[in-house]
Structure 1
Amino acid sequence: MDIKQLIYFLTIAEEGNISKAAERLHMAQPPLSQQLKLLEEEIGFVLFERNTRRMQITDAGLLLQTRAQQIVDLMQTTSKELKDLKEGFQGVLSIGTISSAGETLIPQMLKSFHKIYPGVDFRIKESKTSEILELVKRGIVEVGIIRTPFNLDAFKCINLPEQPMMAVFVDSFLDANKPYFSFNELKGKPLLFHNKHTNNIEEACKNAGFEAKVKCRIDDSRTMLNWASDGMGIALIPKDMIDLVSDSNLHCREIKEETLTTRISVIWRKNHHLSTPARYFLQSFTSEKTHQQALITIS
């Protein structure tokens, strides 16, 4: 039994058909059938029932499939790590990020990372959370930096500290002398907020006994803050985004509403081998100097 035979076997198991597996492997069908026969003879078990049009994997085949996948993954990981060791710590790290993190968190993290690992190059793509999730799923970017909430099913993540929702406004809307606001003080006020937070904000309004007066929903947080500065309404925005626009006319006060709390999450795909640059980049988020409350489990 060798690694090539295991790859052949895994491909047959995935395709459920010898001819399709041979096509995927760019080889003729007879040699592939012969390799499967030799493997079965070596281990002493039938791996597929061949009495139907689609080959049915046996119990022994299922066991081998699990172990073979682990062996192949380990071989690939070892090969990659040895290559990194031989060539020095270098490579390309692809990151998808929401625009707010792209302007605040990412520059800080990459500057620190580059000082330690100057051989790593970066490819950064800014987009909205839903698109970044898809890019990470498809392997187009290896690491995503997004804002909660999102569906965790396909991802592992690092959760950074929670951020309260802030009301950002000019004098004519709210009392700037108050240190914070309860959510019901927004009743009847024109609100500006990100499309991502629509459901949570409208639900919070409903729970407070009123319907949101939505002046604008938008995907661009900087534009939202500029409109708040122009007096169009009260911008509702997570605390870590209020520095996107510097304007002395704006007041920022926390809204005491736990259901609107959000946080930045750094994500990567489950059951996916991370490149060495990606693993070290993720580990940098546990730095006590930068994010004392970050939580991470990398595997």
Structure 2
Amino acid sequence: MDTRVLKYFLTVAQTNNITKAAEQLHITQPTLSRQIMDLETELDIKLFNRENRRLQLTKAGILFQQRATTMLQLLDQTENDLHQQEEALTGEINLGSAVSSVSPYITKLIFEFQKLYPNVVFNLSDGDGDVLRRQLDEGLNDLVCLLEPVEAAKYNFLELPVREEWGVMMKKSAPLAKHSTITKEDLYKIPLILPHRSIVRDEVSDILKLDQTRLNIRATTSLPGNTVSLLRNSNYYGLTIKGVYNNFHDPDLVFVPLVPNKSTGDVLAWRKNTILSPAIEKFLQFVNEQIQGS
């Protein structure tokens, strides 16, 4: 399959119009129409519904749009990696991280690494663990910082010297704000915002011997910013890690730890059975050296 045709397809999918797409691509409309029909014939599936001169992606077309975008991104990244030279290290590293205590740690490492290798560019993104793992699996991220546990059979990882303390974030005016710790009995009595990832909720529940059916769950969220916004505008309480509280620095909110104390480690993970670029290998070596020296 010619990558040129993939670019043609993505342009048509974006404009929903053959004529407009042909103008953007600087080719004739009949040529573009034939290329799209040839692509559908090659795939043996209909990618567009054609109605009233306007094209709409079919369900298969939407899936192919996602995969075609990923394929072209990976091709561009591969071409960049192939042109890297050890003597003058260059390239890009796509790194994803959760909003947590690991954020300032990993960004400091990036800054120190770029002092040594200024031609290496980092593309940073954030998200919850499910999003980050999916991006890693699809090759959209080369490395991701995740909360433990991770799937050891699927990923290689370095254990980072960062721990995440679990607790409850709330308004300063909340009744529990003056408590030194939060117990499971406290959790049963308050309206809660919980992490979206069930594996995280289950792990915390195991430590506290918590019966989740007794919880008053008002919302689940994968984005810390949504948790903070809800807390500002409600009487809810957010079960979260202290790193989220530290990152937002909201003077109207407080963080109270759980008892028994629960903390979780952070790791830097990458896919197994993957050939890493020289820039990624050098960065992992650098991170490992920093960990060993800490």
Q: TM-score range by the shorter chain?
A: 0.5 to 0.7
Kindly provide the CA deviation profile for residues 235-287 of structure 1, in whole angstroms up to 9, marking residues without a partner as x: 111122212322222121111245x5323221011232322221222233346
Q: Name the counterpart of 2:272.
A: 270
Quote how far apart the aligned CAs of 1:157 are: 0.9
Q: Name the counterpart of 1:236.
A: 239
Quote how far apart the aligned CAs of 1:110 are: 2.1
- SS of residue matched to 1:132: helix
Structure 1 residues 210 and 158, CA gap change in structure 2 (3 angstroms)? same
Quote how far apart the aligned CAs of 1:155 are: 0.4
Which AA in structure 2 matches 1:213?
N
Structure 1 residues 256 and 125, CA gap change in structure 2 (3 angstroms)? same
Structure 1 residues 271 and 209, CA gap change in structure 2 (3 angstroms)? closer
Q: Name the counterpart of 2:225.
A: 222
Distance 2:227 2:193 in 1: 6
Q: How large is the RMSD of aligned CA atoms in angstroms?
A: 3.2
- SS of residue matched to 2:110: helix
Structure 1 residues 125 and 249, CA gap change in structure 2 (3 angstroms)? closer
- Structure 2: runs of 5+ lacking an equivalent: 1-80
Pair 1:135 & 2:138 matched: no
Structure 1 residues 248 and 132, CA gap change in structure 2 (3 angstroms)? closer
For these two proteins, the number of residue pairs brought into alignment is 211
Q: 2:214 aligns with which of 211, 214, 228?
A: 211
Quote how far apart the aligned CAs of 1:218 are: 1.0
TM-score when normalising by structure 2: 0.60
Q: 1:249 aligns with which of 242, 248, 252?
A: 252
TM-score when normalising by structure 1: 0.60
Larger Rg over CA atoms: 1
Which AA in structure 1 matches 2:191?
P
Distance 1:279 1:227 in 2: 41
Distance 2:140 2:230 in 1: 34
- Structure 1: runs of 5+ lacking an equivalent: 1-79, 293-299
Distance 2:163 2:113 in 1: 23
Distance 1:242 1:206 in 2: 24
Structure 1 residues 272 and 145, CA gap change in structure 2 (3 angstroms)? same
Structure 1 residues 102 and 222, CA gap change in structure 2 (3 angstroms)? farther
Which AA in structure 1 matches 2:223?
D
Distance 1:227 1:283 in 2: 41
Quote how far apart the aligned CAs of 1:203 are: 5.4
